[in-house]
Structure 1
Amino acid sequence: MGPHGGVLPGGRRHAPRRLLPLGDRVLPLPDDGDALREEGDAVSRGRVNWLGSRHWSRGDWTKTRLYSLSATTKKLVGGLSKPVRVTVFMDRDSRLYMPVTELLSRYRALSPKIEVEELDPKRNLARAEALVREFGIRQNTVVFRSGDRKKYVEEDKLADFDFTGAQMGRGAPEIKNFKGEEAFTSAILSVTEARTPHVYFTSGHGEASLDSGERGQGYADAKQLLERDNLAVAKWESLGKDSVPADADAIVVAGPRTAFLEPEAGALAKYLAGGGRVLLLLDPVLPAAGAPPADFALGKLLSGNGVKLGNDIVVDPANALPLVGAETVFAKQYGSHPIVRSLSAEGLPVIFPLARSVSKAAAGSPASPVTLVETSAEGWGETSLASLEEQVKKDPQDTPGSVSLAVAVGPGDEKLSAKSPRLVVIGNSRFAAAGGLATAGNANLFLNSIHWLTGAEKQVGIAPKTPEQASLTLTRSQVRRIGLFSVLGLPAFAVVLGVWVWYRRRD
């Protein structure tokens, strides 16, 4: 062949390339093969883009998995049958704007039923004013709508802030805990489910007030948490009553100080036997004049469901906390049950101030309780309650470790009959009182217990997440050097790079 042709391996020839004269130089023209190759490359790129637009996945590279949705949320959102419209009424300069919009994009990717609208009041003033008139909301609120039902998630429900730095003049408050998934999933559940579960707290036996925020003595925080999770919470004047409220989905007995009378104890047992749901938070009873019986006259209800209530105070030296007494139990060993599944997975402990043992009764009981949380093997239940002022030590008559602190009775599988009775017994009430819910995994244990009792397992286990806080401190000299590099170094680098490219191409 000539200088512009050639012989391929095997003796096959290819056509000479066409040349275009240009002054003293000769440029090759692309042949038909080049055109076909370019066309094939374009088709391949188009196919890749088409596949990429339909088959893709999201990643979460944050250290604390801030935007990774729980299995609970995926199950709920993936099974939506009603459209849910979400309006983010938030200034883009807000510290919550980025995490909120990013998290909602994950929800939208799970189901076509989720529609998200972002409304910046600074950029769309007329639309923002119309939204305020329609819903009466304030800025930095996320609105969920489905049909005629609405749910407003305000800024204080999305995150806990640390104002320490702001108070010391070190800028805006930091996000301490981001509660977006918990708030959004709760809102979706609220606008898509027709009925609101009713939870009643008994009163008349010395129980702390449901509306009191006194630390360790009231349940206002617990009430607020339940209402945020779309449950109706009310007080039941149960003293002497022989039946529970007709619309009760769960009854909570939280820290009684006197015994239940026969009519109301019988009413609770009858309600439970008929498929009712009961949460018992029973503190230890110390021997004293006028003290109630150790079981608060609920012994028949407990034994009938295979639960043994210990007359002791639990101690666990292996998990002792600094600066508090030995009677405060730090528990982090969990059983296998939906209530504690998230606590176990995340390694969250529960802290019980002054707890008693709650365990399975002897073999042959009609029910089979499941242990929820227990002490280490070194823990025990101190039964010498009359001599607590003396040195407390483990004796043969004490309850041996590991000591069970809470049990659940009922089907663990949410697919089983909704009429199956469910009972949760925890040997402490103060963990759920004001001030206690903010500690470790206490709120998770309380909320998960209520959700399991009411059959709302879809919400069990959505815990707040802590964003990674990264900061960089520079001296004045370092800031000056960075500024000089930006002003002089970067342009100089661009010039050097351009000269190098010109030098390589000049031939």
Structure 2
Amino acid sequence: MDTSLQIKNKKRQFIGLAVLTVLLLTAAVTLGTMVAYEVPFRYDMTGQKLFTLSGDSLSCLEELNSPVRIGAVYPSGQENPYVSSLLNEYEKASEMVTVEYIDAEKNPSALAGYTLGDVQAVFNGTLIIESGEQVQLVYSDDLFESGSSGNLFYGEREITGAIRYVSSEELPTVYFTQGHGELSVTNQLSDAIRLLQLDAYAVKTCVLLQTGIPEDADILILAAPRSDLTEEEAALLRQFLEQGKSLLLLLDPVMNSNIKRLDVLNGLVNAYGIDISNNYVVEEDPSYYLSTSDMYLIPRYGAHEITKPIGEAERLVILPLARGLGGVDYDESKVTRDVLLLSSDRAWARTDVSIPDEHKTSRDVSGPIPLGMAASRSNESSGNISSRIVVLGDATFACDGNVTVQANGDLLLNSVNWLLGGRDRELIAGKVINSDIMIVRGNEFVRLAVICCAVMPMLAFCGAFLLWRLRKNR
């Protein structure tokens, strides 16, 4: 056979094989793309597992008894990729969860299908989470936060909390008392209230002398009362506790001798072996306070179910100014008392706040100083039903801007859960959004797949063919 004819045949075979290879690669990419959109398989390659649901979220979804609808309000094509990817995980994890995307500008009537109550407007980026007649709105500002460690994504915490809230058949009720100069629930405790709601609590307020203690109250919270209770209010609280209910007392330190003692309230907690006399605590061990101030305490943890999970997770509670707690004699046959938070041995408490000296004196109480206590008491008059109280020597840790720092929110929720009887839940932490994360979805994925599996191989083929031609012509 003629040599030139052989070369032409080989050339045709080479070109035909190359074209066939490109066609097969293109077909494989097309088929793979179609399968990828149909098969519910994904692998979360983010360092913080941004799109992997925690065990707490999965347990919440497994316990659903009624359908949950999630309406994500975004303009068409402008969905937040972090939110939509996470919502996809919820929808895949439970058949009880359905997600729909609503373009409120193009289709405002779609919002009419949700029970929005008194809500006047729903903004883009809002998630409407509904089950039955219960509805919770999660706003974009609730999902993302800028912190010192980077941008934080609170999507799982907010969505799981909202699902838990709307799907709960009966919500335990927490009341914040008012009338004694307590912290404002609207201006100072809004973050704490939101955390409680995300943990499926109904949160309300009451004024003891006006309304008494409402019948639906399960837990009362006294957040930094500045004036003492009346004897009538103390009697109401004793009766409340004798019914097996619970009390959370948050106290601030006393640094001014003009502030009166809370003697009536102290008498109430004395029955649980706890003393709340006026004082403030100074920490002298640098390992147990923030570098900015020796009064911003980082306490040690006692062996209690409130603080044990925080310690095991190696997270910190930060108390911006604290009051030390003391102990008094109590009936050990009725009362069980445990220390939750404790200062170092080098700390000291000033009980005579009129002393002007900034340094420790012989009249100050040496550490370790209890900063938080939990106690339970059986009540014979109520058939030995046990009541529970938690006393923490700081209220500022629960204020807006502080309760979301480190494990402060865990301390609050763990305390309330223990007071209710021992809910086994942990606060889902925010996850850091790293700058090296790349989310590829939809048309972007198709384009990237075509470039990687078709265009780049074609360029390689063309380069190889050009090199072959150059070498052939030598």
Q: TM-score, normalised by structure 2?
A: 0.71
What corresponds to 1:86 in structure 2? 70
How far 1:153 moved relative to its partner? 2.1
Q: d(CA) in 1 for partners of 2:407 and 2:182?
A: 23
Note the 1:335-374 alignment, pairs <5 A: 335-341=302-308, 343-358=310-325, 365=332, 366-374=334-342
How far 1:253 moved relative to its partner? 0.8
1:236 aligned residue (206, 218, 221)? 206
Q: Is the 8 A contact 2:168 2:200 kept in 1?
A: no
Q: d(CA) in 1 for partners of 2:361 and 2:461?
A: 76
Residue-by-residue CA offset, 1:131-156 (whole Å, 9 max, x unaligned): 12333633322232323333332222
- 1:495 is the counterpart of 2:465: no
Query: RMSD over aligned Cα, in angstroms?
Result: 4.0
Q: Secondary structure at the match of 1:66?
A: coil
Measured at CA, do residues 66 and 286 of structure 1 come closer, stay the same or move farther in structure 2, by a change above 3 Å? same
What corresponds to 1:121 in structure 2? 103
Letter in 2 for 1:249: D
- 1:176 is the counterpart of 2:159: no
Instruction: Count the aligned residue pairs.
Output: 403
Q: Is the 8 A contact 1:313 1:354 kept in 2?
A: yes
Structure possessing the higher relative contact order (Cα contacts under 8 Å, 6 or more residues apart): 2
2:184 aligned residue (196, 209, 214)? 209
Note the 1:259-338 alignment, pairs <5 A: 259-286=228-255, 288-289=257-258, 291-293=259-261, 295-309=262-276, 311-317=278-284, 318=286, 319-324=288-293, 326-331=294-299, 333-338=300-305
Note the 1:104-183 alignment, pairs <5 A: 104-114=87-97, 116-119=98-101, 121=103, 128-135=107-114, 137-161=122-146, 176-183=151-158
Structure 1 residue ranges without an equivalent (≥5) = 1-48, 165-173, 412-416, 473-485
Q: Is the 8 A contact 1:250 1:454 kept in 2?
A: yes
Residue-by-residue CA offset, 1:37-96 (whole Å, 9 max, x unaligned): xxxxxxxxxxxx9xxx8xx997543222323433322322222222323333334755x7
Letter in 1 for 2:178: S
What corresponds to 1:4 in structure 2? none
Residue-by-residue CA offset, 1:187-242 (whole Å, 9 max, x unaligned): 2112221234332222222223333x2xxxx434434544565544333222487x
How far 1:427 moved relative to its partner? 0.5
- 1:464 is the counterpart of 2:464: no
Q: Is the 8 A contact 2:281 2:321 kept in 1?
A: yes
What corresponds to 1:437 in structure 2? 403
Q: d(CA) in 1 for partners of 2:435 and 2:421?
A: 37
Measured at CA, do residues 60 and 394 of structure 1 come closer, stay the same or move farther in structure 2, by a change above 3 Å? farther
Measured at CA, do residues 491 and 386 of structure 1 come closer, stay the same or move farther in structure 2, by a change above 3 Å? same
Letter in 1 for 2:220: I
Letter in 1 for 2:113: E
Letter in 2 for 1:112: E
Q: Is the 8 A contact 2:301 2:311 kept in 1?
A: yes
Q: Secondary structure at the match of 1:406?
A: strand
How far 1:310 moved relative to its partner? 5.5
Measured at CA, do residues 341 and 102 of structure 1 come closer, stay the same or move farther in structure 2, by a change above 3 Å? farther
What corresponds to 1:76 in structure 2? 60
Note the 1:37-76 alignment, pairs <5 A: 60-76=44-60
Among all aligned residue pairs of Structure 1 and Structure 2, give the percentage whose two residues are the same amino acid: 27
How far 1:434 moved relative to its partner? 3.7
Q: d(CA) in 2 for partners of 1:74 and 1:142?
A: 19
Q: d(CA) in 2 for partners of 1:339 and 1:67?
A: 28
Q: Secondary structure at the match of 1:386?
A: coil
What corresponds to 1:405 in structure 2? 371
Structure 2 residue ranges without an equivalent (≥5) = 1-34, 117-121, 378-382, 439-451
Q: d(CA) in 1 for partners of 2:336 and 2:468?
A: 79
Q: Is the 8 A contact 1:285 1:292 kept in 2?
A: no
How far 1:314 moved relative to its partner? 1.9
1:103 aligned residue (72, 86, 89)? 86
Measured at CA, do residues 84 and 133 of structure 1 come closer, stay the same or move farther in structure 2, by a change above 3 Å? closer
Q: Is the 8 A contact 1:343 1:461 kept in 2?
A: no
How far 1:456 moved relative to its partner? 8.2
Q: d(CA) in 1 for partners of 2:225 and 2:362?
A: 29
Measured at CA, do residues 68 and 251 of structure 1 come closer, stay the same or move farther in structure 2, by a change above 3 Å? same
Q: TM-score, normalised by structure 1?
A: 0.67
How far 1:355 moved relative to its partner? 0.7
Q: Is the 8 A contact 1:91 1:139 kept in 2?
A: yes
Q: d(CA) in 2 for partners of 1:420 and 1:65?
A: 41
Measured at CA, do residues 406 and 85 of structure 1 come closer, stay the same or move farther in structure 2, by a change above 3 Å? same
Q: d(CA) in 1 for partners of 2:134 and 2:252?
A: 40
Q: Is the 8 A contact 1:159 1:175 kept in 2?
A: no
What corresponds to 1:198 in structure 2? 173
How far 1:425 moved relative to its partner? 0.8
Letter in 2 for 1:405: L
Measured at CA, do residues 177 and 341 of structure 1 come closer, stay the same or move farther in structure 2, by a change above 3 Å? farther
Measured at CA, do residues 342 and 466 of structure 1 come closer, stay the same or move farther in structure 2, by a change above 3 Å? farther
How far 1:362 moved relative to its partner? 5.2
- 1:378 is the counterpart of 2:346: yes
Residue-by-residue CA offset, 1:411-470 (whole Å, 9 max, x unaligned): 9xxxxx9x7423211001122234433443333323443344345836542222222234
Q: d(CA) in 2 for partners of 1:404 and 1:59?
A: 47
Residue-by-residue CA offset, 1:459-505 (whole Å, 9 max, x unaligned): 54222222223499xxxxxxxxxxxxx9x9997644334578999xx
Q: Is the 8 A contact 1:220 1:434 kept in 2?
A: yes
Q: d(CA) in 2 for partners of 1:193 and 1:300?
A: 37
Q: Is the 8 A contact 1:444 1:463 kept in 2?
A: no
Q: Is the 8 A contact 1:132 1:138 kept in 2?
A: no
* Higher Rg: 1
Letter in 2 for 1:154: Y
Letter in 2 for 1:63: G
